[in-house]
Structure 1
């Protein structure tokens, strides 16, 4: 499948938050409904504006998106309809090459994401017991392993 990687504008935010929610519901089984409702306005009203956003887009719309700040991938979410079709890898490669990302924080309980980043050359360099909101969702700190 062909996707264009493009900047995200505020006009795209409602489609972005829809992709986020569908992705979270498909992959973050450790979250309760109240957790999703807690994070959703934070993502929409605060976090999207705090990162450099790019999306993978095709004729049907946005298939996934990535947000990078200070060389850290802060968010990478794929519409479940497009999971396993290379969208995540395409966005990750773009964020590494074009946005100079080399770090990512991943929910430890999201085993698929942890496996994805390990497969793509990241290694675990640390762990936090709480997420950035102080909630008890452990975070793995990962860094791209560079071979010199």
Structure 2
């Protein structure tokens, strides 16, 4: 049985490993070097700004979600590549939906698996823009409690 809890310092290496591996797989349209360069800012800047939750089974981190609660922004949702499709992402989304009346996120348009996943979770596309860092189209999606 998977459990969701606030991430602890000892989860950080697993979180960063999942983030990098899943980013490389999901965003193969962006050079790998870009993601590798983002690892330190992810650790030192982005993760500390967010409330981070991990989903674990047998003490193993299988995925995580990062929430900027004040803006209701789902800043990150990543599942270990070999665990994708097992329902862990949906568990994390459902967990966050219980705490928030709305959620907003950005996702690369080319990451069709993620776009479809978020649509299945009730998110709607509200706008599209170019990500200034990569030059790739990014969709803004939102969900609100019925």
Normalised by the size of structure 1, how large is the TM-score? 0.90
Q: Residues 55-102 of structure 1, C-alpha deviation per residue, up to 9 Å, x if partnerless?
A: 101115100000010211000000012111100000011111125552
Shift of 1:22: 1.6
- Measured after TM superposition, the shift of residue 135 of structure 1 is 2.7
- Name the SS of the counterpart of 1:43 in structure 2: helix
Give the match for residue 95 of structure 1.
Answer: 96
Secondary structure of the residue aligned to 1:56 is strand
TM superposition outliers: structure 1 runs of 4+ over 6 Å: none
Where in structure 2 are the equivalents of 1:61-140 lying within 5 Å? 61-69=60-68, 70-131=71-132, 134-140=133-139
Cα distance in 2 between the residues matched to 1:84 and 1:119: 13
The answer for the alignment partner of 2:5 in structure 1 is 6
Root-mean-square deviation over aligned CA pairs: 1.5
Cα shift readout 1:16-35 (whole Å, capped 9, x = no counterpart): 10111121122111121211
Deviations 1:112-148 (A, max 9, x none): 00010111111110112125xx33122110011554x
Is contact 1:5-1:56 (8 Å) kept? yes
Look up the SS of the partner of 2:135 in the other structure.
coil
Matching of residue 57 in structure 1 with residue 82 in structure 2? no
For 1:94 and 1:36, the matched residues in 2 are separated by: 27
What are the ranges of 5 or more consecutive residues in structure 2 without an aligned counterpart? none
Aligned length: 144
Unaligned runs of 5+ in 1: none
